[in-house]
Amino acid sequence: MERQSLFVFNGGFLTQRRVRRILDLAGFDIRLGKPSENQAIGIWGNSPTAHRGTRVAETTGSPVIRVEDALLRSVHPGRNGDPACGLLIDRKGVHFDPSKPSHIETLLATHPLDDSALLRRARHGIEAMTYWHLSKYNAFAPHLEPPAPGYVVVVDQTHGDASVTASGADRGTFQEMLVHAQTEHPDARILIKTHPETSAGHRSGYYTDADTSERVQLFSDPISPWRLLEGARGVYTVSSGLGFEAIFAGHKPRVFGQPFYAGWGLTDDENPHPRRARTLTRAQLFAAAMILYPTWYDPYRDRLCELEDVIANLAAQARAWREDCDGWVATGMRLWKRRPLTQFFGSVKAPVFVDDPAKAGDRATALDRPTMVWAGKASPDTDAARIEDGFLRSKGLGADLTPPLSLVIDDLGIYYDPTRESRLEHLIADAATLPDAALERAAALKERLIKGGLSKYNLGGAQRDMPEGHRILVPGQVEDDASIRLGTADISTNLALLKTTRQHNPDALIIYKPHPDVEAGLRPGQVSPEDAHGFADVIADHADPIALLSEVQEVWTMTSLLGFEALLRGIPTTCLGTPFYCGWGLTRDLGRVPARRRARPTLDGLIHAALIDYPRYYDPLTKQAAPVEVVVDRLLSGHIPRSGLALRLLAKAQGVLASQAHLWR
């Protein structure tokens, strides 16, 4: 890539590290001083300091490159300090200024936009943004309900916004728009949607309380725009990005300015632009504006990236803020877990840890915070969210006090308890109707896990040469594990599992793999060699469980996660208990299956629910919430910090005192 000097006269280019990094990766070297005739000048949109660069360009004849935030930006507005996910780097103009063609307008007017793969990506991008409720800014309160359907949305903008003035609009335009909305919808309520920066107190809008009436109200609730648009009868805007999103929510917004998305047959334009005569589809508009035009950045891998990466990254960051914005009161948490829990759930407000569950409830009420509890410490009637390890946990055992890379938070129950509904059950049931974009993401994740040989703990182990025959893998479990206590009935021990597997498969080659915690002497569940050899042909102690999966034709299990990992690899799995992945038509079920598990998701739908939707992931390198794909990268590369010396010594002490585990569990 040929690099280019970019002379700047706006301090933001120097002080905003993310902007500098994206420009650097895009091939620009930021410079100060006077450029020569052919050296470019960088200008931030139509900012108050843009005139400096414009004057120098007029004097030197240098070309101008205008830079702006991309249309998916961050969780909070830039004025809150959040760095941007990407930039719009435009050599022709600026996307919101219709006075001359910008690069995005040129793309929309002249690019064929007929590539089937590109348009498919665009449709999937629309699906993904809708599914994850992503917008330019994303600090939405997840539990807020939208107003009753049937209202009309009139979009306010910040006073003096460059896109408003570039369209020749002013307060009079906004007043006219409000009159049109009331006249054209005489029986509807009118919601004036305030801008996030106005709600945050950064900048005033064009509407005030003086514009409200019995029918008209200011609406500033931090609700997802996709939920708001879903119940709207109509959408009115001057040039807001919400008008752009309204198109993909199925609306034909009424537009009173000349934003880049107007004039292509997808909006009802009060002031049509004479240059724009082409008719486009929604997918074509999205492809140009969100895939071809922006320069996207991936902070986890420090590289330029595609829209799909940005959606996954921003979804993880937005979910963390939405779930943690009120802070948490945590109880039932062992001391060594508190630092990882703070990393996962404390980016907004640090969790308050209270040992006594009764006192935790009182503290939560006093602080107006929700409560979380480690699932194994939860009482049956608690209304606290339950926390547990995720299914791609770490490189090392939890019993060895290895910090987790994923945790699940469940507001209904917990995944290993089939006696009651869990949030994961709901997600799996909903996965039967997932959009194609979500299923393809799950399929890609599945392939990476298989290719990388990844599992929950990623311990590795010895490779074994197996005898010929129809091989069945029987994974041992920790016999006092909650999934055994709650998810099994007649068969609840490793020996009973082995015996039953042999009874059903008298001629098969049965391979028994003891659980790593049991092998390490940390948890109960040991089967004596004499008993094991009575029903198993091979005792694969200290073997790599994922390598074993490539050697077998079936898996028989009570509730082991290895059954789920077998499903990922297309291996038929028989369940004698009730793990979360049974009862959906993907396993042979000999245990008790809850009648409520009636949905029939695909395997990729199950994977999306269990590995993408349900867990939260934490990147130990960037120290922030991350999508699952980043954690997969870290596990494959080995770039994961080790436990501290104190935790390693504590884990060894626990191993020595394993018979007294009740003292700390």
For range 20-32, the mean pLDDT: 97
pLDDT at 400: 54
CB neighbour burial string for 153-180, b if at least 16 within 10 angstroms, e if fewer: bbbbbbbebbbbebbebeeebbeebbeb
- The answer, yes or no, to whether residue 651 has pLDDT greater than 70, is no
C-alpha dist (Å) from residue 626 to 250, 313, 408: 30, 6, 14
- The answer, yes or no, to whether residue 661 has pLDDT greater than 90, is no
pLDDT at 198: 87
For range 293-303, the mean pLDDT: 98
Rounded-to-integer distance, Cα 339 and Cα 346, Å:
10
Q: Which residue has the tokens 């699940």?
A: 408
For range 371-379, the mean pLDDT: 95
> Which helix (DSSP H) or strand (DSSP E) does residue 529 occupy?
helix 529-535
CA angle 101, 105, 109 (to 5 degrees): 110
For range 260-278, the mean pLDDT: 96
pLDDT category, 604, cuts 50, 70, 90?
very high
- The answer, yes or no, to whether residue 555 has pLDDT greater than 60, is yes
Rounded-to-integer distance, Cα 252 and Cα 30, Å:
41
Cβ atoms of 455 and 538 closer than 8 Å: no
What digits encode the pLDDT tens for the residues 506-537? 999 999 999 887 877 767 878 888 988 999 99
**Cα radius of gyration (the chain):** 29
Q: Which residue has the tokens 């007017």?
A: 109
| Least confident interval from 273-287, 468-482, 506-520, 594-608 | 506-520
- The answer, yes or no, to whether residue 37 has pLDDT greater than 60, is yes
Which amino acid, residue 301?
A: R
pLDDT at 662: 46
Which amino acid, residue 77?
A: P
Sequence-ordered list of residues with C-beta below 8 angstroms from that of 138, at least 6 positions apart, any chain: 74, 75, 76, 314, 317, 318, 321
For range 56-68, the mean pLDDT: 93
Residue 82: both structure tokens together: 């959040």
CA angle 173, 257, 58 (to 5 degrees): 110
pLDDT at 195: 92
For range 240-246, the mean pLDDT: 97
Rounded-to-integer distance, Cα 620 and Cα 404, Å:
10
Rounded-to-integer distance, Cα 267 and Cα 247, Å:
8
DSSP state of 76: S
pLDDT category, 485, cuts 50, 70, 90?
very high
Cα 77 versus chain centre, distance: 19
What's the count of helices (H) and strands (E) in the chain, helices before strands? 25, 26
Rounded-to-integer distance, Cα 207 and Cα 213, Å:
12
Q: Which of 47-56, 374-383, 399-408 has the highest mean pLDDT?
A: 374-383
pTM, whole model, 2 decimals?
0.93
For range 264-287, the mean pLDDT: 97
pLDDT category, 401, cuts 50, 70, 90?
low
- The answer, yes or no, to whether residue 391 has pLDDT greater than 70, is yes
- DSSP secondary structure of 126-145: HHHHHHTT--SS----TTPP
| Least confident interval from 14-23, 198-207, 436-445 | 198-207
- The answer, yes or no, to whether residue 70 has pLDDT greater than 80, is yes
pLDDT at 491: 95
DSSP lists the bridge partners of residue 73 as: none
Q: Which domains does the chain have, with CATH numbers?
A: 137-277 (3.40.50), 428-649 (3.40.50)
For range 121-134, the mean pLDDT: 97
What's the mean pLDDT when you consider all of the chain? 92
Cβ atoms of 8 and 16 closer than 8 Å: no
Q: Which of 515-519, 532-536, 641-645, 655-659 has the highest mean pLDDT?
A: 532-536
For range 600-624, the mean pLDDT: 97
Rounded-to-integer distance, Cα 69 and Cα 86, Å:
6
pLDDT category, 312, cuts 50, 70, 90?
very high
DSSP lists the bridge partners of residue 68 as: 88
Sequence-ordered list of residues with C-beta below 8 angstroms from that of 298, at least 6 positions apart, any chain: 304, 305, 309, 310, 313
pLDDT at 664: 45
